[in-house]
Amino acid sequence: MDQVNNNINEFDEEIKEMQKEKYRLESDLKSAELKLILLYEELILLDSMQGEDMRLSNELKKCTESKGFIIKEIQEISKKLISKRAEVDDIKDEEAKLLA
């Protein structure tokens, strides 16, 4: 009788442990499902923003090209300005010689 009661108690303890493990696994499963839902919502959001992202990327590319062109023009204008300053200095020198 004691052996049977002991086996029953051990069996009950094992069932309790299995129930605890089941609850832990169910909790983990719910967490994973929530994470999956969140990731799916993020995917939907990212998909909806993809067109705007592509448009902005193209606009950035155009602006970058434009910036390069403007920098090139600035460099050319700076070279011309230096050249013109040299010409002005030469003219001033000639004017000073003529006045002298």
pTM, two decimal places: 0.55
> What ranges in the chain are assigned the alpha helix state H?
2-99
Instruction: For 14-50, write each residue's pLDDT tens digit.
Output: 999 999 999 999 999 999 999 999 999 999 999 999 9
pLDDT of residue 100: 82
Q: How far is CA 6 from CA 1, 3, 19, 20, in A?
A: 8, 5, 20, 21
Residue 42's contacts (CB-CB under 8 Å, 6 or more residues apart) are none
Token pair 């303890």: residue: 13
Q: What is the mean pLDDT of the chain?
A: 96
